Chains A and B, each alone.
Chain A
Amino acid sequence: MRIVRRFRWLLLAVAVLVLGPVTWAAAAPVRFDSREELFEIPKGTWARRMAGEKIEILPQEIRLVAGARDILVLRNRDDVPQTFGPALMMPGQSFRLPFEGAAEYQFACTAHASGQMTVVVWEALSSPWARLRWRAEKVLKRVKWLEQQGG
């Protein structure tokens, strides 16, 4: 009890530091600059793959939000045709796929080792819990990406 009293300011500061961002993440509305989630195959990808480089452009699972960020756009900037998600795209071509309802969609995708790609469309982020989960996942994704870059 004495320890709690001794460190109460520290505990309070920690609580504010943790609860503040969590409250913000749950309360602040999520805004998207566009309804489109874009993935691009950069120029030279095929050549790099042929040289033995392992390149993953399209994640195994893509997360979208119904009514807010619900259009998947895939673009092939390479010089050769590429199978990207469910579509075979010519050089310079893009493929725009809208989603209407919240659900999990499975696609055959030869670009993935598993042969499958999943698109998860979330319900509109109208509840605090949904916003919190969405933001937490974004942070986790970012951390994973930073780890990959570092390793």
Chain B
Amino acid sequence: MKRTLALLAILPTLLLSAPRAGAGAGNSDFKSGVFDPPSAAPDFQLQGSNGSPVVLSKFRGKVVAIAFGFSYCQRVCPVTLTNLSEVFKKLGPAASDVQVIFVSVDPERDTPGRLREFLQSFNSSFLGATGQKAQLDGVRQAYGVFANRVQSEDKKLGYEVHHSSSIFLIDREGKLRALVPFGRPPSAILNDINLLLKG
């Protein structure tokens, strides 16, 4: 009886100190840069590499990873997309709750078809997004992404685009939660996407 009474007395304390199911991960658990408080990810509508419009807000309920780049990129984008492809392999069935959107910084050459062909080699679910120069400029500005067209040393390429190389992570509610700087390993990206999947 005494033991039962003692247990009842400490029950409220136990309940309050126990980790709550579904409680969100703390910012200190993230391996990438975290925004606090998170703000709504700027919405956009662009042409998708699948032939349909890509509207960011339509992906509510999924975790979205946005990378900016171009299909003729030889140094940065292949690394970013290979890392994301690795992450997808490790996510297993949970990958269906994650969408990668690759937003072009090269409207002149990145047609929907060209993007589809380029992204196919990394993961067939990755979605390319392109559009008119003004549209893409607007999206970049909203995300604080820079892109400068420079003459390429490779004459066949003509030009290349120097651009921000971070990955933006958006949670299921459409909030911009984290920014993964270039060079972070797939394990770090996987860690953060898993945190966002758990909510």
Contact = CB atoms under 8 A, between A and B. Distances in A.
A88 B42 CA distance: 12
A96 B181 CA distance: 12
Interface in B28-42: 28, 30-37, 39
B143 interface: yes
Contact of B33 (A83, A96, A110, A115): A96
Contacts of B179: 86-87, 95, 97
B144 A87 contact: yes
B47 interface: no
A86 B33 CA distance: 9
Interface residues of B, number: 21
Interface in A90-116: 90, 92-98, 100, 105, 107-108, 110, 115
Contacts of A96: 27, 30, 33-34, 36
B192 to A, nearest CB: 11
B35 A87 contact: yes
A25 interface: no
A110 B146 CA distance: 8
B7 to A, nearest CB: 39
B104 interface: no
Nearest to B37: A93
Contacts of A81: 144
A132 interface: no
Contacts of A105: 181, 183
A95 B144 contact: no
B164 interface: yes
A87 to B, nearest CB: 6
A94 B36 contact: yes
B181 A89 contact: no
Contacts of A110: 144, 146
Nearest to A91: B39
A86 B145 CA distance: 9
A115 B148 CA distance: 11
Interface of B: 27-28, 30-37, 39, 143-144, 146, 164-166, 179, 181, 183, 188
11 contacts: A86-B181, A87-B144, A94-B35, A95-B36, A96-B30, A97-B181, A98-B31, A100-B188, A108-B164, A110-B144, A110-B146
Interface of A: 81, 83, 86-90, 92-98, 100, 105, 107-108, 110, 115
